[in-house]
Homo-oligomer: A and B are copies of this chain.
């Protein structure tokens, strides 16, 4: 049974444009997963009349209404009052909720809770409270005349925690929707057309569904399986993943939360090798991608991002000067940069990313060359871009790390 859903996000700041409303897209995605089809979403200011109007209208056209915001203790926080008025019920102070709330304040070293906070312990007869494990704003779950109104906190982190821990599964039990399991496989070096052809018999099915998406780190394949339980869904997705892996082989460089940087380091770490990087066009984005990992580990030595290939003190960097000065090709420059990175940083594997070659009047395209060097082999990859189109530092860095992950996985380095 699919229920009709409606999202209401509340707060003056949303209508002033002071913050971008991310709760709506988050809740919309999550509601779809538990079998609620969102048909309406709106933003309302801290105005009691507007809020009552909005909840009344939502009750007239939707089965499940999820609101975010307006649960704080101030006189501007009017969501509870509005819902009570819209369903014609009286608010009262819930003794258990009040006790919990006073305990939260004592834990924070505040012996006497400010009296304004009492309204956070309110309920109405048709509502039960939804625990908030991170803040002082409990949610409400109102059930009346077959409709649900669920009130959640506005701060996105609190909202997500309450949704995941207290709401999603209960709502799924009500709709009876299947459990979703999704698995993402990340590819490189193969076109969308090529994938389409290779996997044509796997596309176009309902369950498991196979989707294809162009992302900044390459083309992703997402398998979405549905079943009465998580295990059922996983069992449906498994054979499809096996088929894809068999046919695409090393074109798949990672899965789910893996990034190109984490994949490179897990391969290198597994064989006790290390990496050094010298960046031209990527301008420090490769260093940042490794820096973003919780713990890069010993396999990553470091990255030198140079603005310009000029004179440098290190003799190993003379490679660069030679490359820049002596008519080296892009391939030769990238490989010599990889050699220099290896030497400078005392690494087993060197990654060199050439400066950007900008297309001039006579050229149709520019390029960035990526050199990869180890004792096992030497490899160059080129990312070409048409005149008038940018190839940003981020794209250059991402391309380099994906190429490196693929080459390492294929045993070429």
Binding site for B on A (CB under 8 A): 14-22, 24-32, 38-45, 47, 50, 279, 282-292, 296, 298, 300-308, 310-314, 316, 343-346, 393
Contact = CB atoms under 8 A, between A and B. Distances in A.
Given A292-B393, A346-B312, A346-B313, A43 B41 contact: yes
A91 to B, nearest CB: 25
Contact of A296 (B47, B304, B307): B307
Contacts of A44: 40
A14 B28 contact: yes
Contacts of A42: 40-43
A29 B283 CA distance: 34
B25 A24 contact: no
A301 B310 CA distance: 9
B29 A25 contact: no
B32 A25 contact: no
A20 B22 contact: yes
A139 B301 CA distance: 54
Given A25-B20, A28-B16, A284-B291, A314 B311 contact: no
A17 B30 contact: yes
B310 A346 contact: yes
Given A17-B27, A25-B17, A288 B292 contact: no
9 nearest interchain CB pairs?
Answer: A284-B287, A283-B291, A17-B28, A17-B29, A42-B42, A302-B306, A287-B305, A41-B43, A314-B314
